[in-house]
Amino acid sequence: MLLPLRAHHPARSLCGPLTNKAWGRPSGLLLRSRVPLRLPITGAVPAGAQSSIYARRFATTPTARMSLPSKISAIGINKTGDFDVIEKLELPFPQNAPGNVLIKVQYGGVNFIDTYFRKGLYPISQFPQALGREAAGEVIALPTDESVLSNEEYKLRGLKVGARVAANTLGAFSEYVSVPWNKVYALPEHLSTRVAAASLLQGATALTFVTEAYNVQKGDVVLVHTVAGGLGLIFAQLIKARGATVIGTTSTPEKAALAKAHGADHVILYTKEDLVQRVLELTNGEGVHAIFDGVGKDTFEADLKVIRRKGTLVSVGNASGAVPPFPPLRLVEKNVKLLRPTLDNYIYTPEEGRTYVTELFKLIENGTVKINIHGDYPFTAEGVQQSQKDLTGGKTTGKLLIKISDA
């Protein structure tokens, strides 16, 4: 059975896990009594299991023989709060809903959104909740729902047992995840699971935002805050590749050098320079055509000063805190367009997801986008805590990963 569209609504994914089992929240009911589990080869079902739910779910899965645990380790939270709420969780093996893909995770990507969930800025509906919003690894089991298997978009995904994939999913810092098929992307030969986990969320965000939030054109001048971060470095490369001028902001000369090496034409050290004055100098007083602002609260007022008439201000995130309530009347001064988009709404349909992620993977393959990895953190509570401390402390450049298992 295909999930009703309502169950996929991005606003729900932003707001934490869904109770709908098709989203793969571990239920613990399916596999608990079978330790170690032997998944069948070419449709064979273990003796005595023919009439069980287990048999129905996995009977058609031509997967290699393997043992699966009844419990899995994950890193997540039981309540919201400071870094120390992050703990090791023991969760039931994830039930693979008929429309889902079961993945053994190798890498989880660290994103600022992990900190929003941990702090409670983005609500979580149920605890315990594993953290992590993107994963890459190997397919263990495929959907069994006939309507999925016959869906043309599903076929175009080319998903196979044993294939390497990347997935957008909440709860990625887990040994196994079960993810609706339309959030899972097979990796091309050139792309490792490590680079895939480092590029899926931020790469797709940058690509969709420079295409749909503001369609960057040759000759534009575009301001990117957090330009040396994971998302910012990809923004800089994509904007530059379109023939536009990139002005970035960052805190240190080292970060500025990295941003320049990734396409930024001018980098403003907001710790030493007057941001508004410098942007106006660089644009002959006119301001920029578009702004991608991942800082939020601290930069919003300056953005309104440096956006040009009819410019587009894209509020991307909240690294310094959420932008406070804002009267739309303030936009009349320059007829500014203001957006606060999220990736999920740009890759809402299976076709949108496939199209953008395929393009992203091509841009990585042809060298237009280089993925800069800051480092791998261990799959422990301390490792995930440290990743969040480093990210929110502004100590990092590029992408942070959690290494969950070997390939």
Ligand X SMILES: NC(=O)c1ccc[n+]([C@@H]2O[C@H](COP(=O)([O-])OP(=O)(O)OC[C@H]3O[C@@H](n4cnc5c(N)ncnc54)[C@H](OP(=O)(O)O)[C@@H]3O)[C@@H](O)[C@H]2O)c1
Binding site for ligand X (CB under 6 A): 111-113, 201-202, 205, 226, 228-232, 250-251, 255, 294-295, 298, 316-320, 342-343, 391-392, 394, 396
> Phi-psi category of 43—alpha, beta or left, where left has phi over 0 and alpha has psi -120 to 50?
left
What is the strand order of the sheet 129-130 is part of?
86-92, 71-77, 129-130
The two beta strands, 266-269 and 373-378, are unpaired
How many other C-beta atoms lie within 10 A of the C-beta of residue 142?
A: 24
CB-wise, 193 or 250, nearer to ligand X? 250
Q: Which is nearer to ligand X, 188 or 394 (CB)?
A: 394
**Considering the complex, what minimum distance in angstroms separates the CB of residue 360 from ligand X?**
13
**Whole-number minimum distance, CB 375 to ligand X, in Å?**
12
Nearer to ligand X, 40 or 353 (CB): 353
Cβ nearer to ligand X, comparing 94 with 229: 229
Instruction: Respond yes or no on whether the N-terminal peptide bond of residue 26 is cis (omega within 30° of 0).
Output: no
Which residue type occupies 27? Answer: S
Nearer to ligand X, 116 or 176 (CB): 116
Least separation in angstroms between CB 212 and ligand X: 12
Residue closest to ligand X (Cβ): 229
Q: At its nearest, how many Å lie between ligand X and the CB of residue 177? A: 19
Smallest distance, ligand X to C-beta of residue 98, A: 29
Q: How far apart are CA 386 and CA 388, in angstroms?
A: 5
Contact yes or no for 314/343 (Cβ under 8 A): no
Considering the complex, state which of residue 230 and residue 353 has its C-beta at the smaller distance from ligand X.
230
String of b and e for 16-30 (b: at least 16 CB within 10 Å)?
ebbebbbbbbbbeeb
Query: Alpha helix locations (H) across 41-178?
Result: 53-58, 112-119, 146-149, 152-157
Give the Cβ contact number of residue 245 at 10 Å. Answer: 19
3-state DSSP assignment of residue 193? helix
Q: In angstroms, what is the minimal distance from the CB of 396 to ligand X?
A: 6
Burial of residue 162 (CB within 10 Å: 0-12, 13-18, 19+) is: exposed
Cα-atom radius of gyration of the chain, to the nearest Å? 22
CB of 89 or CB of 201, closer to ligand X: 201
Q: In the complex with ligand X, which residue's Cβ is closer, 72 or 86? A: 86
- We find the least distance from the C-beta atom of residue 379 to ligand X, in angstroms, to be 19
Closer by beta carbon to ligand X, 106 or else 320: 320
DSSP lists the bridge partners of residue 313 as: 291, 338
User: For the chain, first and last CA: distance in Å?
Assistant: 32
- Shortest reach from residue 404's CB to ligand X, in Å: 19
In the bound complex, what is the minimum distance in angstroms from residue 287's beta carbon to ligand X?
A: 21
